[in-house]
Amino acid sequence: MNGDQKLDVCDKSKQNFFQHFSQIVKVLTEEDMGCPERGDAIARLKEVLEYNVPGGKCNRGLTVLTTFQDLVEPKKQDADSLQRAMTVGWCVELLQAFFLVVDDIMDSSLTRRGKVCWYQKPGIGLDAINDAVLLEACVYRLLKLYCREQPYYLNLIELFLQTAYQTELGQSLDLITAPQGNVDLGRFTEKRFKSIVKNKTSFYSFYLPVAAAMYMAGIDGEEEHAIAKKILLEIGELFQSQDDYLDLFGDPSVTGKIGTDIQDNKCSWLVTQCLQRCSPEQRQILQENYGQKEAEKVARVKALYEELNLPAVFLQWEEDRYNHLTDLIEQHSAPLPPTIFLKLLQSIYRRQK
């Protein structure tokens, strides 16, 4: 298969994946839509699904499908198995939507994916918490409907449960480290940053979709999953560090969101790097301005980062991490095919959103 043919297959997979979402909504809502007892709630669920689940890049969900296709012989990829892979991919996107809806509330965010956060919409408010819980419940409804008869069903259930638990622990670490109105720069260590990232972002963004595809392909050995986890958690650290950089130095018209890490007192890549490089006087400036809502204080922190040349530091760090990860994959991915990791790494390298 030449490069153009591979691109056509990739584009077709992406098209099929996005088209499958309408089937997901139909399966989750059609049966009860006309029910006198629950019809109103199901109509609300349909609205919640259509507003919050699509609209992003869907890289996590697509990774389930493309990794499954990379791991399974083409002759064994029948319509049913591909439909299950797409459904599990949308389960990952549903879990992501659940996390994002509640995360936006906790962070007082304004926009997500280029539009108003769900809880900020008129008439929604904190009812969005229940909407988020419904999104999570839909994950397990879909797994039961599509995968209950498959030998990997229990592995998928346990994987999603473990992922939710770890991500919620990561969110707890994030909140504990960054309490509103209490700026403690001593909390912002590289060790704490890595711990938050590993649990809050890397596990569900990178290990979950690849591990799900591995289980669906019949790969359930501890050694293979340990190899995948080591590589994918490191890719996740690069991804979150990029997010932290783009939160402040990215273009909101490209990223689709207005960054608030400084105002929210976050333990971000930028603040940990600042603390490693700043003078006592610069640290005092950070202490006086970090975690504050006023625009001039946010601007002062950004100016401090620029004084320390952190944008250039980040770009060099990103390049170094990319090279390190490329070597790690080439040397340690066996017996798994390195392409499943290299494609993920290349998809985020020097990203702008």
Residues labelled as active-site residues: 57, 98, 103, 107, 112, 174, 200, 239, 243-244
Handedness of CA 5, 6, 9, 14 (dihedral sign): negative
Element (H, E) at 111: strand 111-112
Amino acid at 59: N
Q: What are phi and psi of 57, to 5 degrees?
A: -75, -20
| Residue 28 · residue 45 · CB < 8 Å | yes
Element (H, E) at 299: helix 295-307
Angle at 303 between CA 300 and CA 305, to 5 degrees: 115
Q: With CA atoms as reference, report the closest residue to 45 among 144, 113, 105, 135.
A: 135
CA dist 209 and 93 (Å) reads 10
| Residue 129 · residue 181 · CB < 8 Å | no
* Angstrom distances, CA of residue 48 to CA of 27, 136, 139: 15, 12, 14
CA dist 145 and 128 (Å) reads 26
CA dist 165 and 56 (Å) reads 23
Q: With CA atoms as reference, report the closest residue to 204 among 340, 91, 341, 328.
A: 91
Q: What are phi and psi of 112, to 5 degrees?
A: -150, 125
CA dist 90 and 146 (Å) reads 12
* Angstrom distances, CA of residue 47 to CA of 18, 31, 117, 137, 334: 17, 16, 14, 15, 44
